Structure 1
Amino acid sequence: MIKDLTDDEARRAIVLKWGSVEPDVLPAWVAEMDYALAPPVREALLDAVNTGVTGYPVFGPGGRLGEAYAGFAARHFGQRLDPTDVLGTVDVTAGVRVALDVLSDPGPMVLPLPAYHPQLDVAQITGRERWDLPVDPDAPTAMFDLDHLDRLFADGARTLLLTQPHNPCGHVYTREELEGIRDVVVRHGARVISDEIHAPLVLPGAQHVPYLSLEGTADHAVAVVASSKAFNTAGLRCAQIVTTDAATRRQLVEIPMARNDSWSSLGAVAAIAAYEDGDAWLAALVERLDQLRSLLGRLLAGHLPDARMRHLEATYLPWLDLRAYGHRDPAEVGLQRERVLLSPGHAYHPGLDGHARLNMATSPERLTEILRRLGAALSL
């Protein structure tokens, strides 16, 4: 069910990842997959365009979008939501900004590092400081230190921006880890914004636990979700803020329209199709990513035997520790020497050398060539 795009098809369809690089560059950077659209999403979009669905979306919580996501969350995560718990927003980063701006107390926002790079600026945009919570690159897991989090809240932080599953570390937080986070947050009367955009992309061996499914989280947390990463529709601009607390929902609904950027009507069409009719395609995608995860392990052993990578539990974006090869910016070395483009590690963890994020959501043949080139570049 997963159709690989040719190079020419990818350059036309994936205009940032493929279309903005030189023809001899093999791109493995921005989080877009080299696959054709899921047929249910493609058919729904074609029908909507033929009908002329290019005006404003339906505003407010719930509706068809809320029903579609509530059904998806029940089937995939065992989470019970009322459709009115779901409110549209333009994308996940904008949803995080809205939640931070509207719901959080004044005071610093805690950000575990490494972090999805737009998150590095979201606190400052809302007039807050960002207080970093770095994960030790030599630690056995990507779970951050709860004692450190406790100290940051004790010193005045008011919000934790939690990305789970984690991008770029690929970590799926366990129920026990999330309960530990919750207990620290509750002790300080703080807030959690849980970015769960990668939840549909949990790989075999792990299970996503929605933060809001934990007891005692409704009054201090929201989740921000979307179908865009799992179904490759980021450009259609439609995410969802999820809350299970009536007072929080009321705060979000009553904000001025200009504070919550309008999402796209075509984005809503794509999201509804993905949530309602995309399960079979998503299962095939997860199977493909699981196969690529295994292939990546073999390719690293063959081409970059000194590389380190924690076990990838979710996403298609493995975080590579390449410090053993002695380059401050291995992504730049790969581009200059072998024309392969990864995302530099310092974009996700400022000041951290020797790391890179790899996009493995491509064909096995391309992934093999990506690792061959990267190995050749770093081993010179």
Structure 2
Amino acid sequence: MDLTDEEARRALPLKWGVPDDVIPAWVAEMDYAVDPVVLGAVQRALADGITGYPLARDEALATSYAAWAGRHFGWAPEPEAVQAVVDVTAGVRLAIDVLSGPGGVVFPTPGYNAQHRLAEVTGRTEHLLEVPTSADRCEIDLDALDRLLAKGAQTLLLTQPHNPWGRVFTRAELEGVRDVVVRHGARVVSDEIHAPLVLPGAEHVSYLSIEGTHDHAVAVVAASKAFNTAGLRCAQLVVPSAADRELLAAEPMSRNDSWSPLGVVAARAAYDHGDPWLASLVERLDQQRALLGELLAAHLPEVRMRPLEATYLAWLDASAYGHDDAAAAALDRGRVMVSPGASYAPGTTGQVRLNIATSADRLTEIVERLAKAWR
């Protein structure tokens, strides 16, 4: 169900905390009502007074995720490989802190803005692997990755499906990444939070499903992005290596705590009972993807858009219209709030990330306003 403006302002205070004349299309939250099954589970948990500490290890959550991954991806970890963390970025940080060597972290850019400088936070050097901000299908330059690892970097932070590229990496691409990483004895931390949001025409392949990855890789996953429950604070770290699990278990509790018991309830409900709602969501996002293409062709024909294979986040290049800061122009002249491309790829101009997870009417007005702002 589409939220009205009034409902969205109550439900999504960050995204919709903008002036009344501004349409927000920036942060990765959806203007849709939460799956009633998930919402009902959380409401029952609150009625039961479940507001205390969560279990240090929740076997039911691990089993639920493993079964869900098996249904959706044809590959599932063993339940003992699945551990709760507070959110995906915290899980990435934990993995780098505990499992990675002291060398630098390779971070493909454009890359998720909240994960810029994670290398610095974990006491390592960040190596940006720049991918041209064009409308072409984005691919990781394996030769460039090889050079960075040869110079001493020891970890690749892989985001797949990718935000903000909208890319789904193929099995062959991931096998190429594996070969380079293995050659240098490096590690992969794979952020797969957008895996449930692969659109028709593409297929998610977990990095951990690739042969020869379990000894050097972990994945960080969550139901929160697909089911709009980020505020409930629960993601999962998938650690197939028993040796890596022992290293994590030996760390003090302060390394990994503070996920929410309500987040666990929501994640289990989503994994166990959310398949019908998720299928309807993917259908809606596919419709929005098609609508966006039609609207851009009609109103902003010079805008280049990378092919959107997953997520509800479109990467637009509006530089043909002469705006170095297209996001500022969108807000000032069109009263639309989008995410500036420079926050994902420092130093770039003319690009923005646009959130299409809204109503068809609202998306139409967004593009019409962008045309007024940019043309």
TM-score per shorter chain, which class?
Answer: over 0.9
Residues in 2 aligned to 1:96 and 1:80: alpha-carbon distance in whole angstroms: 20
| Candidates 41, 49, 61, aligned match of 1:44 | 41
Distance in 2, Cα, partners of 1:292 & 1:313: 12
| Number of equivalent positions | 375
The CA RMSD over aligned residues, in Å, is 0.8
Picking from 325, 328, 331, the partner of 1:332 is 328
Partner SS state of residue 18, structure 2: coil
Tell me, which stretches of 5 or more residues in structure 1 are unaligned?
Answer: none
Return the match for 1:213 from 209, 214, 217.
209
In the alignment, does 2:21 pair up with 1:29?
Answer: no
Q: Distance in 2 between matches of 1:273 and 1:65?
A: 9
User: Which residue matches 1:341?
Assistant: 337
Classify the secondary structure of the residue corresponding to 2:219.
strand
Structure 1 outlier segments of 4+, above 6 Å: none
Asked if structure 2 preserves the Cα contact closer than 8 Å seen for 1:31 and 1:359, the reply is: yes
Q: How far off its partner does 1:138 sit?
A: 3.4
1:238 alignment partner AA: C
Residue 366, structure 1, aligned to residue 362, structure 2: yes
1:15 pairs, out of 13, 16, 21, with 13
Cα-to-partner distance string for 1:7-61 (whole Å, 9 max, x where unaligned) = 000000111001x21111100000000000001100100100000000011113x
Matching of residue 194 in structure 1 with residue 190 in structure 2: yes
Determine if contact 2:193/2:223 at 8 Å carries over to the other structure.
yes
Unpaired runs of at least 5, structure 2: none
Task: Write the letter of the residue equivalent to 1:41.
Answer: V
Q: Secondary structure at the match of 2:158?
A: strand
1:81, CA displacement in angstroms?
Answer: 1.8
Q: Is the 8 A contact 1:116 1:348 kept in 2?
A: yes
- Superposed displacement of residue 141, structure 1: 1.6
Q: Of 86, 90, 94, which aligns to 1:94?
A: 90
Aligned counterpart, 2:107: 111
What aligned pairs does 1:30-179 form with structure 2 within 5 A after superposition?
30-60=27-57, 63-138=59-134, 140-179=136-175
Contact 1:170–1:312 at 8 Å: present in 2 too? yes
2:134–2:317 Cα contact (<8 Å) kept: no
- Following TM superposition, by how much is the alpha carbon of 1:178 offset from its aligned partner in structure 2, in angstroms? 0.2
**Structure 2 equivalent of residue 376 of structure 1:** 372
Matched-pair contact (CA < 8 Å) for 1:94–1:261: no
Q: Which residue of 2 aligns with 1:300?
A: 296
- Supply the distance in 2 between the matched residues of 1:326 and 1:249 (Cα, whole angstroms): 51
2 CA distance for matches of 1:295 and 1:140? 20
Q: Provide the C-alpha distance between the structure 1 equivalents of 2:15 and 2:133, rounded to a whole number of angstroms.
A: 27
Deviations 1:259-311 (A, max 9, x none): 11321000000000000000000000000000000000000001110000121
Q: Alignment identity in percent?
A: 63
Residue identity matched to 1:212? L
CA–CA separation in structure 1 for the residues paired with 2:264 and 2:109: 31
Query: Normalising by the residue count of structure 1, what TM-score does the alignment of the two structures yield?
Result: 0.98
Amino acid at match of 1:9: E
Query: Are 2:167 and 2:308, in contact at CA under 8 Å, matched by a contact in 1?
Result: yes
Give the Å deviation of 1:80. Answer: 2.5
- Aligned with 2:283 (options 280, 287, 291): 287
TM-superposed deviation, 1:251: 1.2
Q: What do the CA deviations read for 1:110-146 (whole angstroms, capped 9, x no partner)? A: 0000001011021100111100001112373211210
1:53-110 residue CA offsets vs partner (Å, 9 max, x unmatched) = 00011113x5111011001100000112211110000000000000000000001100
Letter in 2 for 1:45: V
Partner Cα separation in structure 1 for residue 250 and residue 362 of structure 2: 48
The one-letter amino acid paired with 1:295 is L
Whether the 8 Å contact between 1:193 and 1:221 is mirrored in structure 2 is yes
Aligned equivalents of 1:120 and 1:212: distance in 2?
Answer: 23
For residues 288 and 135 of structure 2, the distance between their equivalents in structure 1, rounded to whole angstroms, comes to 25
**Contact 2:91 2:220 survives alignment (8 Å):** yes
Native 8 Å contact 1:165 1:199 kept in 2:
yes
User: Partners in 1 of 2:135 and 2:280 — Cα distance?
Assistant: 33
Secondary structure of the structure 2 residue equivalent to 1:263:
coil
CA distance in 2, matches of 1:153, 1:261: 32
Counterpart of 1:259? 255
- Structure 1 residue matching 2:254: 3-state secondary structure: helix
1:226 maps onto 2:222 in alignment:
yes
